[in-house]
Amino acid sequence: MTTTAITVDGLTVHRGKHPVLHSLGFTIPEGSVAGLLGPSGSGKTTLIRALVGVQIIKSGTITVLGDPAGSPSLRGTVRYVTQDASVYDDLTIAENVQYFASLYGCSSDDVAHAIDAVHLDHLPGSRLVRDLSGGQRTRVTLACALVGAPRILVLDEPTVGLDPVLREDLWTMFHQLADAGTTILVASHVMDEARRCDRLLFLRDGHLIADDTPAAIRRTTSQDDLEDAFLALAHRD
């Protein structure tokens, strides 16, 4: 039986004086990779902020693993990687991952596994993060979020600036984590990444215009290409 990891019901959010999310409702099954797709400004980051409990909401409910989003019980269970690399420049790769591992009560094996998973194991562990390239810093941030296989992983544009080989490897890893029970939500505006998700949430101007599998979205819009499918749904809306 599939268990629901995240349930959103009637979610409305205002930012400034304006509504940016309009009465959204959807569920995300545990152990799946869900894609949150939509143009710039459609509300992806706002929805993610609400899911991780750092956004004031106007109305509606968000339940994560049975508790309201942002509950203290979800600390460490829900990991959120923002668009900006959030690691310590003056620590080494291993020290950064170790720091987060200590917060979450993970072992040094978990640290090594996380560094390996993002393909940074070939670099000396003593390399300071300030001496890494942009893509390498992004990977350290991901390793910090992945350490110890969290139950919920929310990633905002995680593959921006990464090369195609690493992107492919990361998507493989996301599915391996999901198969082991982690629920992953990936926000992206790259439609190419949509096909790799189990389910898709399409946002447009703060409205949910699709919530289904890639195959079902292709079928109902009669479009092979998911970008064309999005456009068809946007125009229908």
Ligand X SMILES: Nc1ncnc2c1ncn2[C@@H]1O[C@H](COP(=O)(O)OP(=O)(O)OP(=O)(O)O)[C@@H](O)[C@H]1O
Residue 56 as a binder of ligand X (CB under 6 A): the answer is no
Give the SS3 label for residue 34.
strand
Residue 158 as a binder of ligand X (CB under 6 A): the answer is no
Residue 150 as a binder of ligand X (CB under 6 A): the answer is no
Residue 32 as a binder of ligand X (CB under 6 A): the answer is no
Q: Contacts by 69-78 with C-beta closer than 8 Å and gap 24+?
A: 74/152, 76/103, 76/104, 76/105, 76/150, 77/150, 77/151, 77/152, 78/51, 78/52, 78/53, 78/150, 78/151, 78/152, 78/154
User: Which of 8, 28, 44, 140 is close enough to bind ligand X by CB under 6 A?
Assistant: 44
40 versus 222: smaller Cβ distance to ligand X: 40
Residue 92 as a binder of ligand X (CB under 6 A): the answer is no
**CA 27 → CA 1, 3, 98, 183, 203, distances in Å?**
15, 10, 33, 12, 15
Residue 45 as a binder of ligand X (CB under 6 A): the answer is yes
- Output the smallest distance, CB 169 to ligand X, in A: 24
Q: Tell me if 47 sits within 8 A of 21, measured CB to CB.
A: yes
Mark the segment that binds ligand X (CB under 6 A) among 38-46, 72-80, 178-186, 209-217. 38-46
User: Which of 3, 25, 41, 59 is close enough to bind ligand X by CB under 6 A?
Assistant: 41
CA distance 130 to 133: 8
44 versus 167: smaller Cβ distance to ligand X: 44
Which positions lie near ligand X, rule CB under 6 A? 15-16, 20, 38, 40-46, 189
